[in-house]
Amino acid sequence: MSFSSLGLRAELLQAITEEGYTVPTPVQSQTIPIVLSGKDVMAGAQTGTGKTAAFALPILQILSENRPLGRRPRLRALVLTPTRELAAQVAESFKDYGRHLPLTTGLVFGGVGIGPQIEQLRRGVDVLVATPGRLLDHAGQKTVDLSAVEILVLDEGDRMLDMGFVRDIRRIINLLPKLRRNLLFSATFPDEIRRLAEDMMNSPVRIDIERKTLDADLVNQRVHPVDRDKKRAALSHLIRSEEWSQVLVFARTKHGANRLADQLTRDGLPAAAIHGNKSQGARTMALSDFKTGRARILVATDLASRGLDIEQLPCVVNYELPQVPEDYVHRIGRTGRAGKTGLAVSLVSIEEHGMLLDIEKLLQHDIPQEVIIGFEPAVPFVIRPKNAAAPGRPGRGSGRSTVRSFSPSPRRR
Ligand code: AMP
């Protein structure tokens, strides 16, 4: 399967080549022809699968095919995303893929001045990427005209639900023309998202991208059992001894993320933190420090990490396991993206056992465990299925989990 066989026009193929993509990812090869055929799509696909291009490319194609010439652009494709970071990334993708086409993409989200957004909307855009709250502000002030919207995309539907945006989305849908195409992307389909889909969509084609594409194939995962109060030292040790050049560390709370970033920095490992309490400016700065290498470590909460598009991220660390197993998959999706192998390391204390088991159940496989020499937990733990080897004979008879000693590789020169 190649991009040219998907029926995309030359300007888009050229941009794809310039992006360095050679073959479409599964969600792209399945979604693009269906969107081009005019049908609604409901796709189960997570970040990291290439889903943005799966909707952006056919939308650009459709808009470029029948764009009224010589007029101010009219807003014909609306993309709603849960976070400002994701909105910015998606808008950037539209601009990248559409760089050889005469189409414009606008971006509106909260937390920044509304004036420049009003100006941008006044000049006219073909595509608008927006977070729901700010879009409703614009609609209330009549600074956005939604009457020509032909295509609606809801990106990360389940996240929108988690963040309480479903009512806003319903209000926005009520402002749109009834006759339109709808695309819904969501990692999971809880009942409320299904109901929303039933209400807003017209016999959608359902596409499911296996979680596997994101998990085992591309990401080396390991668990380091370690006591809670040793985690920080263990993390510094790993970063140094394994010479991780760029690492995204997940913490559970905003406060924890800040504290960890401060401690690592004091420890001589410059780290930035990114979470919902930070202003947009501070988030952008933290991200840019990380991307340019000024900060080797970015500590993030789950919510803030959504939609961060950091390419070729070699390593992700779960400093604390997430409460929701699905978030583990989202987190490790930050590494091993689109063909590149990544490493996902979880520091797991005895208190987090239950969460680890839930994650392994979701993944349908174990994550290998390795004790870091010098950071052995006070109470060693081995997870075995029921009926497995007796205590004291770890791992025997089950083959399910292993505990190995792990001493980080010596410095390579
Ligand atoms: P997404 O799931 O949309 O966040 O995309 C994940 C990452 O994969 C982004 O960094 C894209 O630039 C990259 N990507 C998307 N499609 C392809 C492709 N066909 N080949 C290689 N990389 C891709």
For 307-319, the pLDDT digits (tens) are 565 656 788 999 9
The pLDDT score that the predictor gives to residue 39 is 96
The pLDDT score that the predictor gives to residue 213 is 45
User: Do 3-209 and 213-406 agree at the fold level?
Assistant: yes
Q: Is residue 47 within 8 Å of 333, Cβ to Cβ?
A: yes
CB of 52 closer than 6 angstroms to any ligand 1 atom: yes
pLDDT, average across residues 285-290: 83
| Atom from ligand 1 closest to the CA of residue 52 | 3
Say how many Å lie between the CA of residue 344 and the centre of ligand 1: 19
The CA distance from 40 to 42, in Å, is 7
CB of 21 closer than 6 angstroms to any ligand 1 atom: yes
CB of 24 closer than 6 angstroms to any ligand 1 atom: yes
For 293-307, the pLDDT digits (tens) are 888 899 988 777 765
Higher pLDDT, 32 or 244: 32
Q: Is residue 95 within 8 Å of 12, Cβ to Cβ?
A: no
Residue 332 gets the label, from left (phi > 0), alpha (psi -120 to 50) or beta, of alpha
Looking at 3.30.420.40, 3.40.50.300, 3.40.50.2020, 1.20.1050.40, the CATH number of the domain 3-209 comes to 3.40.50.300
pLDDT of residue 196 exceeding 80: yes
CB of 49 closer than 6 angstroms to any ligand 1 atom: yes
Cα–chain-centroid distance for residue 35? 22
CB of 335 closer than 6 angstroms to any ligand 1 atom: no
pLDDT, average across residues 145-163: 94
Q: Give every CB contact of residue 265 below 8 A, 6+ residues apart in sequence.
A: 271
**Model confidence band, residue 210 (pLDDT cutoffs 50, 70, 90):** low
Say how many Å lie between the CA of residue 280 and the centre of ligand 1: 24
Ligand 1: residue whose CA is nearest its atom 5:
50
The pLDDT score that the predictor gives to residue 413 is 35
pLDDT of residue 402 exceeding 50: no
pLDDT, average across residues 134-156: 97
**Model confidence band, residue 392 (pLDDT cutoffs 50, 70, 90):** very low
**Model confidence band, residue 261 (pLDDT cutoffs 50, 70, 90):** very high
CB of 46 closer than 6 angstroms to any ligand 1 atom: no
For 373-384, the pLDDT digits (tens) are 999 998 876 554
The pLDDT score that the predictor gives to residue 398 is 36
pLDDT of residue 367 exceeding 50: yes
pLDDT of residue 143 exceeding 50: yes
CB of 310 closer than 6 angstroms to any ligand 1 atom: no
Report the topology of domain 213-406.
Rossmann fold (3.40.50)
The pLDDT score that the predictor gives to residue 222 is 94
Question: Can you give the residue ranges of every domain in the chain?
Answer: 3-209, 213-406
The pLDDT score that the predictor gives to residue 211 is 52
For 23-76, the pLDDT digits (tens) are 888 899 999 999 999 999 999 987 778 899 999 999 999 999 977 766 789 999
Q: Of 7-11, 85-89, 308-312, where does mean pLDDT reach its minimum? A: 308-312
CB of 342 closer than 6 angstroms to any ligand 1 atom: no
Output the CA angle 367-368-371, nearest 5 degrees: 125
Q: Give every CB contact of residue 156 below 8 A, 6+ residues apart in sequence.
A: 47, 81, 82, 86, 185, 186, 187, 306, 307
- Beta strand segments in 160-232, E: 181-186, 205-208, 219-225
Mean pLDDT, the chain, whole residue set: 86
pLDDT > 90: what percent of the chain? 59
Ligand 1: residue whose CA is nearest its atom 18:
21
The H-or-E segment that residue 167 falls in is: helix 166-174
The CA distance from 228 to 222, in Å, is 17
**Model confidence band, residue 390 (pLDDT cutoffs 50, 70, 90):** very low
The pLDDT score that the predictor gives to residue 326 is 76
